[in-house]
Every structure is written in structure tokens, then in C-alpha cells.
Amino acid sequence: MIHADIPEHDWTSSSYSQNNGGECVEWAPTYAASHGVVPVRDSKLTNSPVLLISPSAFAGLVSYAKRSR
């Protein structure tokens, strides 16, 4: 994990995310496209460390989340 210097406007929340205090993650697609790694963070703790994962790991995470609905 790192403390990434990614502008706030680059972060995107899940389309399933609601503003109800639930658990949600955000990712930064622009950073991912330009750096080849996907930054992921807790949407409630935006100043916390950022997890950097491979694009294939991120795809697996999204696939798992869709199956778990």
C-alpha cells in the first residue's frame, strides 16, 4: 500500500455505492490507464493508504463482486 498522489477528481465509486455509510471502494481509472496498476481505496477513508493491484486482479475483484450480489 502507498499514499498515492492521485487527484480527487480521478477517483470513481462503484455504481452500487450509496451515500448511506456502507462499505464501498473507489478506483482511479485514469491513473490505472497511464500507470498499468489499479489504485483502490476505501471511499470513507480517502486519506488512508491506497492499494495498487494488477488490472487482472482488479477484473477478478469486480467479477467476484458481481457474482456475490
Q: List, for residues 21-38, the tens digit of each pLDDT value.
A: 566 889 999 999 999 999
- Give the pLDDT score at 66: 83
Distance in angstroms (rounded) separating the CA atoms of residues 17 and 37 = 22
Q: For the full predicted model, state whether its pTM sits above 0.85.
A: no
- Give the pLDDT score at 22: 62
Domain count, the chain: 1
Cβ pair 11, 27 in contact under 8 A: yes
- Give the pLDDT score at 16: 63
The per-residue b/e assignment along 4-19, b for 16 or more CB within 10 angstroms, e otherwise, is bebeeeebeeeeeeee
What range does the domain containing 44 cover? Answer: 1-10+23-69
The C-alpha cell that represents 55 in the structure block: 488490472
Distance in angstroms (rounded) separating the CA atoms of residues 53 and 30 = 14
Domain assignment present for 35: yes
